[in-house]
Amino acid sequence: MRQLLSASFKSALVFTVIAGIATSVTGAGFDPNRKGAGENRTKLTAMERSPFDWTLLTKLSDWKNGAAPTPASLDGKVVLIVTYSDWYRPAARALAVARRAAETYGKDGLVVIAAHNPEGWKDAAKPEAPTGGTMLLAHDEKGEFRKALLSAQDPNFYFIDRAGQLRFADVANESVEETIQFLIAEKRDDAANLNQKEAEAKRAKAAQDAKTSSINNQNDLLRNLPEQTFPAPTAEAYAQAKWPKLPTDERGTTTYEPRKITLPNAGWSPNQPPLTGRAVLLYFWNPGVPASYDQMQRLADLMQRQYQRDLVVVGVLSDFESFGQRNDKLTDEEKAKKVLTPETALKRIQEFQTARKYEHAMVVDLAGSVLKTVTSENEIPLPYVAVISSDGMSRWWGFVGSPEAKGALDRVLEVDPGVQARRKAEAEYLRSTGNGAVGSQPQEAPKK
């Protein structure tokens, strides 16, 4: 599947749609994708935003491209640490990424420190630093530097901000560039006062929450509302609903009619959410294609919180190679490592959810049956989404940054007979339990 938009243009459009679709949600601070899961990821996260222990640099030896750095020489700099192994191809590529970063951002205060694996240092290639950039190579002879950073397997990326804090630990490869850009642009005082400002913001939020406790109680009530039974709307009700205008091609022609979408029964994480009386927003992604999820997954989580019970957001992990994506530049060994099985795909989903604390549901669909049902196109713009009504029919599909995306979603939530029936049943339940004041129409959808 060819990515139809350049990375920069795609990012601009996705940021625009985030502002348009999730206007009522306050965006969090910069938060790159990270690697790892479980206990090790928890420990790595706990290390972040603390002063970096510069004595760890004494664990490295045989410095190349310059003398061993000191706290004074790194003061006020942004430091990118990469653990690598010259004999391991993915890690060697990581060093090339770090070198390009030093070349591009060295003038802005970026310093790269590359720590080689204990094995293979003698015969390892030791590239010179780029002109105008600082890239220091060193040997982690005893592996003590890696051990201190909880670096289990090369390559791993760590960032130290201008205030000398280990800001981000074990950042995913696809987020390295945007992390550099963020830290380069950040002022030293802002980095130094980050924890204090966030503590003040939490205190202010707690005070605001106390003032609006009744609203919070209402929201809690809605989130924990038991599933209600209600008569399913008739086929005629769905047929008469004023659904959004269907997507068209470049000639303004509608190429597909709504189709019945069947989601997988297995491969869900954390579990399959209830779908009765709810619209569904699907986005299609693959961990090997950053354009399919970079930014989109954050948006998905925002939307799930914003629309709560009316909408179920699902990330569908699909095998894009079955749609014609080619990896001609990869070796057979590298291609084999990129092949996902249902088990490894589910593990990748769980890694993403753990590292980024995503709350929306994801499901494995390596056969691509869901995406193939939504569209028969061989090329799609990424990130790609589909809006499904409560009867399981596709009502809109296309690029999430399209001007029609938000309007289509709002229209489906407004006219969907199943959503309306579920709201009515919930309102009756609330009245019967003495909570009618919470609202006779839970989760009122935004009007166009």
206 within a domain of the structure (yes/no): no
pLDDT per residue as tens digits for the range 124-146: 999 999 999 999 999 999 999 99
Specify the pLDDT at position 269. Answer: 96
Confidence check: pLDDT of 439 > 50:
no
Expressed as residue numbers, the domain containing 81 is 32-195
Specify whether 110 is located in the same domain as 255: no
| CATH number of the domain within which 162 lies | 3.40.30.10
Q: How far is CA 366 from CA 48, 300, 397, 399, in A?
A: 35, 20, 20, 21
* Spatial separation of the C-alpha atoms in residues 424 and 177, rounded to whole Å: 48
Closest CA to 275 of 361, 151, 209: 361
Specify whether 285 is located in the same domain as 171: no
3-state secondary structure of 185: helix
Confidence check: pLDDT of 443 > 60:
no
pLDDT per residue as tens digits for the range 316-357: 999 886 554 444 444 555 455 567 899 999 999 998 898 888
Omega before residue 155 within 30° of 0, cis = yes
Specify the pLDDT at position 106. Answer: 95
215 within a domain of the structure (yes/no): no
Closest CA to 393 of 236, 227, 280: 280
* Spatial separation of the C-alpha atoms in residues 372 and 403, rounded to whole Å: 23
Of the candidates 195, 226, 251, which is a domain's last residue? 195
Of the candidates 173, 195, 217, which is a domain's last residue? 195
Closest CA to 303 of 33, 19, 32: 19
pTM of this prediction?
Answer: 0.58
431 within a domain of the structure (yes/no): yes
E-strand ranges in 36-103 read: 50-51, 61-64, 78-84
Q: How large is the average pLDDT for residues 233-248? A: 95
202 within a domain of the structure (yes/no): no
Specify whether 186 is located in the same domain as 245: no
Pairwise pLDDT comparison (152 vs 61), residue with the higher score: 61
Specify whether 163 is located in the same domain as 267: no
24 within a domain of the structure (yes/no): no
* Of 27-36, 95-104, 337-346, highest mean pLDDT: 95-104
203 within a domain of the structure (yes/no): no
**Vertex 37 angle, CA 35 and 41, to 5°:** 75
* Spatial separation of the C-alpha atoms in residues 40 and 46, rounded to whole Å: 10
Specify whether 125 is located in the same domain as 244: no
Give the full edge-to-edge strand order of the sheet including 384-388: 268-269, 361-365, 311-318, 279-285, 384-388, 394-399
Burial classification of residue 110, based on how many CB atoms lie within 10 Å of its CB (0-12 exposed, 13-18 middle, 19 or more buried): buried
Specify whether 142 is located in the same domain as 279: no
23 within a domain of the structure (yes/no): no
Specify whether 173 is located in the same domain as 301: no
Specify whether 274 is located in the same domain as 135: no
Which tokens is 389 given?
């009504």
Are 108 and 76 contacting, i.e. CB atoms less than 8 angstroms apart?
Answer: no
Specify whether 242 is located in the same domain as 183: no
Specify the pLDDT at position 196. Answer: 87
Count how many Cα atoms sit within 13 Å of the Cα of residue 442 in the half-sphere of its side chain: 31
Domain count, the chain: 2
Of the candidates 164, 195, 226, which is a domain's last residue? 195
Q: How large is the average pLDDT for residues 30-59? A: 90
Specify whether 183 is located in the same domain as 304: no
Specify the pLDDT at position 383. Answer: 93
Specify whether 42 is located in the same domain as 178: yes
Specify whether 150 is located in the same domain as 44: yes
Beta-carbon neighbour count of residue 55 at 10 Å? 9
15 within a domain of the structure (yes/no): no
Specify the pLDDT at position 220. Answer: 55
DSSP for residue 253: -
